[in-house]
Structure 1
Amino acid sequence: MRDKKLKDLSKEELIHIIENLQQKYDIETKELLPLQIDYRALLEATSDIIFVIDKNGEFVFVNSAWKYFYPSMGEGPITGHYTDNIPDIEKTRAAIVFNDVIFKGKTIENELMKSFDEKGEPIYFIASFSPLKNSDDEIMGLLGIMKHNTERHLIKKKLKANTRILEEKIKELVAQQEELKSLRDLSEDIIFNAPMGIFLMDPSGIMLSENPALKKIMGHGNDSRIGVNLLEYTGFIQSGLDKVFEQCLREKKTIKKDDAHYIPIAGDREVIIDVIMDPLFDEKGNVKRVIIMVEDKTEQFRVEKRAKRAEKISSIGKLSQGIALELRAPIDKMYMDHNFIMNNMEQTSPAYEYGISIKDQLHRIRNLSEQLLALSGPEEGEKEVCEINKVLLNHPIDVLISRLKEKGFTVNLNLPEISPTVKATSGQLKQVLFDLIENAEEAMPDKGTITVSVKAEPTREGEFVVITLADSGVGIPTDKMQKIFEPFFTTKGENATGLGLMIASNVIENLGGCIAIKSAPGQGTTFKIAIPMLKT
């Protein structure tokens, strides 16, 4: 048999060769000894197509499994060259495989091969090819085993197609949600780095999550508000956000609220926020979460309010300046006439007391005229370099502080060793500080403590001088705090003009600074003034 060519071997001889090959690679199981296996029956019974091709590419042997795929070909064996029995799509690759096995002695395993059945439908096989050698290790032909894999291949192919479809659907869903401003599927990274505050609430009002931007807007710091029921929080209710939340749940749609005045849980300040509430639904269409986006408009609101107020004060200032200038000459003339009359009147005269009363009223008129003139603000050329320490330690503030100490008040001055400087009108700045200290005196009928502190504080807009004036007086009622800087509003009775704090605010704002107040009944009042500091 050694001298025979592969195509001259009988079927029994080919089976014997395959039997020896399988024994050589030890493929039999431990339970079945080689002598107990009927290899003829095994080859014919298997559902895998097993074939042998000689060195010329001619089919020598094919088991009966091929009939399952090509039943109309009858009982006769498959003959001829292998290229006559495979589809065109596989001929190039088949030639490469044939050359690698026959001429290079390679073993090729688990190659996906494509063919077509009698109906023209594609069928797929997992094929392995190995060289057939004689006892002299000479390659006689090629042994091929093809395992039917069509169903598995089509399932895998369909799975890939479905995966692509699913990916497209997910992309479409994300796009739709972005258009509707829904952040349902946004990643934690996007929410974490979002410039606006974002948090989730469940329908009962419990906060489920919050991003760093929200903590910054609300002043939470490192403290978390997760788990807090916001519907029970006064600030949430007073700002009207509870009604917006209920509307969002009821109408199941996005609800917006602009310029909401909200006092955070920390309670240290009021913020102005724009709020968008967007419902998230479960599979039944019920609202399961509400995602809330918060944009801080506090600074913008303050700038707009300051601009409106400045415009209003500017109009008042121009009118007031004209009136004050017109009144200056008559007032001076009345002062001169009054002095002449008083100098020529005996103190025992019944009219002398009326003369004193007239002088007091003239002084009040002059003071009001000067206040009206101050509303117009100083020209840039009138400003000068002012040392804050000198302003507080020299006339007239030093005289006022001495008088307060003599009356039993405690006055503390906390000044830095090196005085910060600002560009201001010295007279107006002194008048503002003088009036605030006098206001503190009037707020403490039973005496008390006045503390004036000065320090430099760096900010994102530059370095500022911060002057703090605090008293231990009666404080200001909450309902009057919002009007404290409005013109002609006063808490001192009918003898007050109601212009002092408005003028103080206008003077400080003309210097590029700001003034703030903190007060509560029985807890005293604190004014803070911030003015841009000059670089030395």
Structure 2
Amino acid sequence: MRRILVVDDEESTRDLLSLSLQSDGYEVLCAEDGFSAMEICANHPPEIVLSDIKMPGMDGIELLRRLKHLNKDIEVIMITGHGQMELAIQALQLEASDFINKPISDRALSVALRRAEQKIWMREKLREYTENLECMLKQATDEIRKRYDFEHHLVHTSMDGIIVNDREGNIILFSEGASRIYGYTREEAVCGLKVTSLYPEGEARRVKKLIYSQEYGGPGYLVNYETTARAKDGQLVPILLSAAILYEDGEEVGTVGYFKDLTEVKELQARLLEQTRLAAMGEAMAEVAHGIKNILYGMKLGAYMVEKGLIQGERDRLEKGWQMVRTNMERIARLSLEMLDYARGESRRREAISVNAVVSDVCQALEKRAQEEGIRLERELECDLPFIFGDSEAFHTCVLNLVTNAMEAFGEESVDKRVKVRTFVKSGRSLVVEVTDTGRGIAPEVQDRIFRPLFTTKGARGTGLGLAITQKIVQEMGGIVDFHTTVGRGTTFTLRFPLTKSE
């Protein structure tokens, strides 16, 4: 009778699972939290743990880590709720044997337990086989044949794919797990298939090169490398590959590869990404609605003043009201255009961009405004800069946004108003654009939100999309945008674009 531990902070769930598992012949222990579970595991070790993923105190992820540290052979099945796909993926990566969703169905529980039982059975048999290996080696030919049959059974019943090929790439072992991934029968693979045909064009050569490198486990090994397999029907299958060079008498004779199908994990990640995208879209729509409501309120107030001014013949009220209407019309037009810029797809234009030319154009366009506002606009441009590649109009928007923001960073108390734009190449690897101001700086409590769409510290003067658009464009061009700020002393925004050898 196997011992199973149920960990859940809900008593009703523990009672229900306990009754169901006892009727299936398990010895059942229960714990109301992770700490109680660890104490039970130390004194009465279970073979299987069924744990809720969300619990107060110690959650299921932390409990999983501690259980695997205590005994890596404990099989842990996680219970997840709606919207917890990210935690489920994390649990699988931490070697949970499976996960099931709430409300728990008998079929899902049965399948998860059967998988855990199979892994325990195979591990027990493998341990038994290993312990008796020395004795088996001393037995006659019949015993050696039994050993071979058992090894063969272990290889071909593995849930993961196992493939062995010789130095010429001929497949000499192809497990049933490999057949499930690739769609080839064992006979089809061994009788004529080359291992290169199991990958997209050129990927087999890359894998071979990585095995000899230091990058994934050291020379002769490849550990947990994500790549793509090409199945018999031409479909591409995401896999996690580990491999090792096989030697005989010090000479390389072949390669063994272990393949884990990542299709289900990738599907879970895609579902999580879609849920995150929808949540972000909802949050953005709420922010847009709030911003437009404020603008419409301003227009309504201005229209009221215009109406009263017309009725009462008060020209001052009429002009003030019309100014409010016009200002808010400009705000909603600017918000609409910037929302379109932010929502547009990635630009397909890729042209050589002279960074200094764009910076000079922006500075010249803002020179008059800078003089009127008492701001010294400076340029320090390194000569003979290499080109960067992308959409030149979009890059112009980036620089314009940053310089405009810098010019708006000064308060009434500011005395030394300076904005400086620098361009230079750093260490021969990246082209850098810096925009520095001596303004108020950015308050610590908002620094992690400045690139968030529709977040603004400018009140009615800002739309909250300038920096979000800048970040999006820079990332599309392969660069990064960052900033450094000191409250009361100013801010520096930095754009970095990597330089290729051809540049």
TM-score over 0.5 (shorter chain): no
The answer to which structure has the higher helix fraction is 2
TM-score, reference length from structure 1 = 0.34
TM superposition score normalised by structure 2 = 0.36
Structure of larger gyration radius: 1
